[in-house]
A and B are shown apart, each in its own frame.
Chain A
Amino acid sequence: MKVAGKWFTARCSPARPEIVLGVIFLAIFISIVAEGENRENTQNFVLNTECPPGFRLLPGGTCQLRTLYDHYNTPEGFFGLRANLPEHRAGFTPEQIDLGRYLFFDPILSGNRELSCAHCHHPDYGFADGRPRSMGPGGDGVGPERHGGVELARAAPSLWNVGFKRRFFWDGRAANLEDQARGSLFSETEMAQTPDGLTAALNNVPTYRQLFQDAFGKDAENNISVDLVLRAIAAFESSLISINSRYDWYAHGDESALTLKEQLGHNVFRSFTTRCSDCHSPPLFTNDEIAVIGAPEPPGHSMDPGLERYSTHWQHRAAFVVPTLRNIAITAPYMHSGALTDLHDVIKFYNDGRGNAISEHDKLAIDRRVPRDPRLTKEEQIALLVFLQTLTDESMMPRIPHSVPSGLVIAQMKKR
């Protein structure tokens, strides 16, 4: 038997409290019932040789994502109900993806050996952390309960479907997954690691030396390099796919997949009254472009310059990458610094018209597509809200490892 244990728990779409509870029970069951079978618990780490759900193994040994959207034939850049997804970042083997999963959950990556990627991008919070702004080293806990550390300026974005993106970080300063991971790993306020510290820590763990060789062969023979670490993390992140929501089944032709109220919300979403779909373009629900929307900052926070920090143009002040709305209902709070608590707040922000959340002296080039005065009725606002909830899908959720090769404590959620 080659498979080391599959890593995907099933979740329902949309997420419901009973399902979340189910997942917690499920985790308990696995740890109790499947103990004898689970090689992770034996400290005998073996990488998965099968591609993640939704992927197929190509003859060359790498995994390729297959979705129903592959059937459509739209030219690049087009969007709509039945359009292709953007190109997906491919080229990773099952072993590389699975190695990335261990690294993702392993606090050995951080300078103080306490923080893993999952501390701010946790599966239980839609691969974000449920916090208005993330918390770096020095704190304790995971997700909203995390405390005692230094708060960052921005919120952790969800990682669902990042394999389709070409701009990373809120300000879009990274162009690929590796550069994003590098940025957070070696940031003093985030994982506070150094390149030498990272390679020393990993090379010191015999299991990792073995696993890197299993995943990368000769490239990892003598040394685990920073580049290989980043590549493995990118491989895992590219496997986080959410494309099986009720909305998707509506798009593929099942009218009954959405209620009439949700269909009304869909119409509100794509209408020029709101222009949501201009930027949050289906099927990915983002165009992955840069936009200034004039979102509020939390009380006491000055305006985040966004892309302007890396640009010579004032028009890039408070410019951020358009986030995907896939799984948006489970990734509150919202906006780059978490100033909006829930989706009601977000809809109110847009419905109050462009520029309502900035002061008169803030000279911002607010994107022309931010609606001027949508005047949505109460019914339309509720319909829009319920439509956004149809974009929830975690059916391809990867499994959280029970332990990681470093033996350090992984990010566990308390009961929600």
Chain B
Amino acid sequence: MQKLRVAIFTLLTAGVFVSSHAAELVVTDGGSIMQAVRAAKPGDTIKVMPGEYKETVYVDKNDLTIKGVIVGGKWPRLEGNDELSDGFLVAGSNIVIENFHIANHRSNGIMLQGATNFVIRNNVVEHSGGNGVYGIFPMAARNGAIEYNVALGWLDAGLYCGMCENVDIRFNEFYDNGSGIQVENSHNVLVEANATHDNMNGIAIVMITGWKIKTISGIIVRNNILYNNNKPNEVPVDSVFSLITPGTGVFVFGADGTIFENNVFNGNVTAAIVITDHRVATERGLIAIDPETDPNPDKIQVLRNLYWNNGMAPVGYVKEYVEQRAVGTGKTLADIVAIGGGSNNCLSEPKSVTAIGTDDWTICPDDLSTQDVQTMRLQDPLPIVEIPLEEKGEFVYRAVCSGCHASGLRLIGPNFDLVRQVYKGRPEALAEYITSPTKKYPTYPPMPPQDYLPEEVRLEVARYVLEMGRDG
């Protein structure tokens, strides 16, 4: 169903431009993807043939599909050589990136900042030195899908969803990273059917202070398999994510409103699920103290997961906590460990799960389920905002021109009546004049050049000024 919707969505958005000038641009080995991005028009598809591409591809325009072509098992490869910061950097709307092998970027393989309606699909994103930050990094990104990707070798996380909204993360594989997946200060994110294994931690759901977005809610972690996430935590000790305990399937840090349903946890030596408040981090100064942020994990629901062979050798402060609690209870290992504050949390099958620190948790109602949620993406894509040229012209008129000129009145420069008299019917000439003004009248000061404005906006504002007279 979801696939069908993606297909329809793609057709619809492409369809708009097929009738005008949707084009296919092909980039071959030795060429530049960035050049194609610059040349592309909305609705175009850029096809990238197998080969090695050493450039950061940044996409600040809207409506582009950038698609690798895989020939005989050979992929197009974006190589960072540990010199380039990013492989893809995306801020536009309706951008599709698929079929790329992205390797060895210092920061991120794919970073999205403020992007909307995105699809990141079928990419392999890796760092062989293990010191890149995140493989895939949607930040303040809204309404998108991250599917069928593999991310490996990233120091902090294979995928980091920071301040995301309406995002599906599905059918991906993450291994040999810090965390497989981290979701931070986000809303309405579906993490489903991913395999996260052999990382330091499988999936972390975190609330971090110091951002303008100070809440997290609507996170569903469902049908994932999380196993053998037992790598040591290699981030520096003064990094905030040094607080994530290795050997954890799921790590919840001060986050609210997250549902864990029907996941499989196996072989995570500290615990299947660790839930903690902010104190472990604020005490050490790892995150800012922010009175506007709630430090406790609330409304966590743990529903019908399968736990098998977790918690046999906990490490770090979780180990200390488990050992303290073991005195008198006899529990020496646990599937679920909850440390510190938190309220309104529940567990569906407390008798079949070993849990420590969950005394004040309730039993989740039997009928609690996320089955009605098929996707977190929006039914309709977010609209692409293209500011009309007239609006740009009017803005310049109001913000810039009107500071020195008026109709029927002398301000700093000549009044508009005089301007209209001189340039009547010649907006091009007026546009040219304001680009690099020369002194025309001895009694007026020189006008500063408006060459920073786009050419079309200069012409538009010239028209605006000349046509104002007609309206009276």
A residues 28-87 in Cβ contact with B at 8 Å: 29-30, 33-34, 37, 53-56, 66-68, 71-83
Distance (whole angstroms) from the CB of A23 to the closest CB of chain B: 8
Distance (whole angstroms) from the CB of B128 to the closest CB of chain A: 18
B residues 22-42 in Cβ contact with A at 8 Å: 38
B107 touches A272 (CB 8 A): yes
Whether A253 contacts B386 in the complex (CB less than 8 A), given A22-B446, A30-B412, A315-B289, comes out as yes
Considering the chains assembled together, what is the distance between the CA atoms of A319 and B291 in angstroms?
14
| Chain A residue at smallest Cβ distance from B451 | A12
Whether A396 contacts B212 in the complex (CB less than 8 A), given A22-B448, A77-B163, comes out as no
| Chain B residue at smallest Cβ distance from A250 | B60
B residues 400-417 in Cβ contact with A at 8 Å: 400, 402-404, 406, 409-413
B140 touches A3 (CB 8 A): no
Considering the chains assembled together, what is the distance between the CA atoms of A22 and B404 in angstroms?
14
A71 touches B85 (CB 8 A): no
Please report whether the interface of chain A is mostly helix, strand, loop or mixed according to DSSP.
Answer: loop
A10 touches B404 (CB 8 A): yes
Which residues of B sit under 8 angstroms from A5, Cβ to Cβ? 411
| Chain B residue at smallest Cβ distance from A3 | B409
Which residues of B sit under 8 angstroms from A71, Cβ to Cβ? 385, 387, 391
A residues 221-248 in Cβ contact with B at 8 Å: 241, 243-246
Chain B positions 361 through 397: 1 when the CB is less than 8 Å from some CB of chain A, otherwise 0: 0000000000000000000001101110001100110
Q: Report the stretch among B2-10, B108-116, B118-126, B335-343 that lies at the interface.
A: B108-116
Which residues of B sit under 8 angstroms from A363, Cβ to Cβ? 285
Considering the chains assembled together, what is the distance between the CA atoms of A9 and B452 in angstroms?
17
A291 at the binding interface (Cβ < 8 Å): yes
Considering the chains assembled together, what is the distance between the CA atoms of A389 and B239 in angstroms?
31
Considering the chains assembled together, what is the distance between the CA atoms of A72 and B385 in angstroms?
6
- When the two chains form the complex, which single residue of B114, B137, B402 contacts A53, counting CB atoms closer than 8 Å? B402
- When the two chains form the complex, which single residue of B106, B214, B239 contacts A273, counting CB atoms closer than 8 Å? B106
Considering the chains assembled together, what is the distance between the CA atoms of A37 and B282 in angstroms?
62
Considering the chains assembled together, what is the distance between the CA atoms of A241 and B445 in angstroms?
23
B395 touches A68 (CB 8 A): yes
Whether A396 contacts B454 in the complex (CB less than 8 A), given A25-B445, A267-B89, comes out as no
Count of A-B contacts with CB under 8 A?
211
Which residues of A sit under 8 angstroms from B277, Cβ to Cβ? none
- When the two chains form the complex, which single residue of A6, A241, A292, A366 contacts B411, counting CB atoms closer than 8 Å? A6
| Chain B residue at smallest Cβ distance from A78 | B140
Whether A81 contacts B114 in the complex (CB less than 8 A), given A10-B412, A255-B38, comes out as yes
B86 at the binding interface (Cβ < 8 Å): yes
B165 touches A8 (CB 8 A): no
Interface centre among A10, A56, A375, A397 (most CB of B within 10 A): A10
- When the two chains form the complex, which single residue of A22, A30, A74, A288 contacts B114, counting CB atoms closer than 8 Å? A74
- When the two chains form the complex, which single residue of A9, A83, A314, A375 contacts B412, counting CB atoms closer than 8 Å? A9
B400 touches A53 (CB 8 A): yes
Chain B positions 57 through 87: 1 when the CB is less than 8 Å from some CB of chain A, otherwise 0: 0101100000000000000000000010110
B444 at the binding interface (Cβ < 8 Å): yes
Whether A271 contacts B86 in the complex (CB less than 8 A), given A75-B165, A289-B212, comes out as yes
A158 at the binding interface (Cβ < 8 Å): no
- When the two chains form the complex, which single residue of A79, A241, A267, A292 contacts B288, counting CB atoms closer than 8 Å? A292
Considering the chains assembled together, what is the distance between the CA atoms of A254 and B456 in angstroms?
10
B20 at the binding interface (Cβ < 8 Å): no
B454 touches A273 (CB 8 A): no
Considering the chains assembled together, what is the distance between the CA atoms of A313 and B284 in angstroms?
12
A268 at the binding interface (Cβ < 8 Å): yes
B457 at the binding interface (Cβ < 8 Å): yes
B307 at the binding interface (Cβ < 8 Å): no
A369 at the binding interface (Cβ < 8 Å): yes
Which residues of A sit under 8 angstroms from B240, Cβ to Cβ? 368
B448 touches A19 (CB 8 A): yes
Distance (whole angstroms) from the CB of A101 to the closest CB of chain B: 14
A402 at the binding interface (Cβ < 8 Å): no
Considering the chains assembled together, what is the distance between the CA atoms of A375 and B106 in angstroms?
10
Considering the chains assembled together, what is the distance between the CA atoms of A79 and B289 in angstroms?
22
Which residues of A sit under 8 angstroms from B447, Cβ to Cβ? 10
Whether A29 contacts B445 in the complex (CB less than 8 A), given A1-B409, A255-B61, comes out as yes
B212 touches A315 (CB 8 A): no
Distance (whole angstroms) from the CB of A80 to the closest CB of chain B: 2
Distance (whole angstroms) from the CB of B455 to the closest CB of chain A: 8
Which residues of A sit under 8 angstroms from B91, Cβ to Cβ? 80-82, 270
Distance (whole angstroms) from the CB of A38 to the closest CB of chain B: 11
| Chain A residue at smallest Cβ distance from B38 | A255
Distance (whole angstroms) from the CB of A106 to the closest CB of chain B: 22
A256 at the binding interface (Cβ < 8 Å): yes
Which residues of A sit under 8 angstroms from B199, Cβ to Cβ? none
| Chain B residue at smallest Cβ distance from A86 | B212
Which residues of B sit under 8 angstroms from A72, Cβ to Cβ? 385
| Chain B residue at smallest Cβ distance from A246 | B452
| Chain B residue at smallest Cβ distance from A245 | B452
B289 touches A270 (CB 8 A): no
Which residues of B sit under 8 angstroms from A273, Cβ to Cβ? 85, 106-107
A93 at the binding interface (Cβ < 8 Å): no
Considering the chains assembled together, what is the distance between the CA atoms of A367 and B452 in angstroms?
36
Whether A68 contacts B391 in the complex (CB less than 8 A), given A8-B404, A395-B403, comes out as yes
B410 touches A37 (CB 8 A): yes
Considering the chains assembled together, what is the distance between the CA atoms of A195 and B180 in angstroms?
59
Which residues of B sit under 8 angstroms from A1, Cβ to Cβ? 409
Interface centre among B86, B409, B445, B447 (most CB of A within 10 A): B445
Which residues of B sit under 8 angstroms from A368, Cβ to Cβ? 210, 239-240, 286-287
Which residues of B sit under 8 angstroms from A277, Cβ to Cβ? 113
A263 at the binding interface (Cβ < 8 Å): yes
Which residues of B sit under 8 angstroms from A410, Cβ to Cβ? none
A73 touches B383 (CB 8 A): yes
B86 touches A267 (CB 8 A): yes
Considering the chains assembled together, what is the distance between the CA atoms of A76 and B185 in angstroms?
13
- When the two chains form the complex, which single residue of A12, A77, A81, A316 contacts B289, counting CB atoms closer than 8 Å? A316
Whether A257 contacts B452 in the complex (CB less than 8 A), given A9-B412, A273-B106, A277-B113, comes out as yes
List 15 A-B pairs, Cβ < 8 Å: A3-B406, A11-B448, A66-B398, A67-B395, A73-B382, A79-B113, A79-B114, A80-B140, A82-B385, A249-B453, A252-B387, A272-B85, A288-B212, A368-B287, A396-B399
Interface residues of B (CB under 8 A from A): 38, 56, 58, 60-61, 83, 85-86, 89, 91-92, 106-108, 111, 113-115, 133-134, 137, 140, 142, 163, 165, 210-214, 236, 238-240, 282, 285-290, 382-383, 385-387, 391-392, 395-396, 398-400, 402-404, 406, 409-413, 443-450, 452-454, 457
Known A-B contacts: A6-B412, A29-B444, A255-B60. Give 10 more (CB < 8 A).
A8-B403, A13-B452, A19-B448, A56-B398, A68-B391, A254-B457, A255-B38, A255-B61, A256-B454, A267-B85
